[in-house]
Amino acid sequence: MLQAVGLAAQWEAMLRELPAGWPEIGLRLRLTRLEDAASAAALLGSLSPGVAGGDLHLRATSEGDAGPGAIRRLLARLDENRIGGTLELVGAVAGGASAETVEEAPTTPLAAAWDELVAGLPEDWSDLLCLVQLRSSDELDPAALALAPVNPSRHGKTLGFRFRVARRFSYGAAPGMARRCLERLDEAGIPGRLRLLEVFSDTQPVLTQGPTFVVSDRAV
């Protein structure tokens, strides 16, 4: 999409291209100016955006507090504050039978995808929420076994598993363990796509297990 188009208008155009019955999608907002990242994250605060450099990672749902109308209003606030960028669809799961298939065959090994993801994170990152999207529902059980050390979870009709990673402390798998589990999927011949859903930087838990990620109105 053209950056000259406002973010709310980009969202409207994206909505027209989504399949009927979509329950949840991932969005990446590539900001025109890196220095706008903090302001954009604050304006989008109710969506708990993840920030990686000049990119903001969001989740949108077909209804609720992260529904189309809420997304439109929040992006319009960015437009009003002259914060520009490009809105991209980074992951989608359609409703019905099509939820059982990843749209395009993954080509990058998951361990390599992890290395690329980590390389693009801010230097002070502390906590991640990731998603491994699978190719087929037949691979759910063996994938769950391979990912067991990272405590994977599946939500709704999403064909894949979410997992948390903690860099130093708090709740989540260690980065090395996360990479090893993804490598196990590669070794088992289970292809998939690795998505970064949320990222927090420099968290300092006090008498807690760590930060809370909110996805589709649910704490994870």
Phi-psi region of 64 (alpha: psi -120 to 50; beta: other; left: phi over 0): left
pTM beyond 0.85: the answer is: no
Question: Which candidate, 11, 22, 3, places its Cα nearest to that of 71?
Answer: 11
Residues comprising the chain, all counted:
220
CATH topology for 101-204?
A: Alpha-Beta Plaits (3.30.70)
Per-residue confidence (pLDDT) for residue 204, from 0 to 100: 56
Per-residue confidence (pLDDT) for residue 186, from 0 to 100: 93
Please state, as a whole number, how many other Cβ atoms lie within 10 Å of the Cβ of residue 212: 12
With contact defined as beta carbons under 8 Å apart, do 199 and 155 qualify?
no
Per-residue confidence (pLDDT) for residue 20, from 0 to 100: 75
DSSP secondary structure string for all residues of 143-197: HHHHTGGG--B--TT-SEEEEEEESSSSSSB-HHHHHHHHHHHHHTT--EEEEEE
Q: CA–CA separation, 161 vs 152, rounded Å?
A: 6
Write out the E strands in 13-148: 24-31, 50-52, 55-61, 85-93, 125-134
For the chain, what are the domain ranges? 7-96, 101-204
Per-residue confidence (pLDDT) for residue 107, from 0 to 100: 59
3-state helix, strand, coil in the chain (%, to 5): 35, 30, 35
Per-residue confidence (pLDDT) for residue 91, from 0 to 100: 53
Distances (CA, A) of 141 to 155, 159, 163, 217: 15, 11, 16, 26
Per-residue confidence (pLDDT) for residue 209, from 0 to 100: 52
CATH class given for the domain over 7-96: alpha beta
Per-residue confidence (pLDDT) for residue 94, from 0 to 100: 40
Q: CA–CA separation, 183 vs 186, rounded Å?
A: 5
Task: Walk along the chain (220 residues) and give the pLDDT tens digit of each residue.
Answer: 344 689 999 999 998 888 877 777 888 899 999 889 889 988 988 887 777 777 888 888 887 788 899 999 999 999 999 999 999 887 544 443 333 344 444 557 999 999 998 888 888 888 888 999 888 888 889 999 999 999 998 876 678 899 999 887 667 889 999 999 999 999 999 988 898 888 877 555 544 555 555 454 444 4
Whether the domain at 7-96 and the domain at 101-204 fall into the same CATH topology: yes
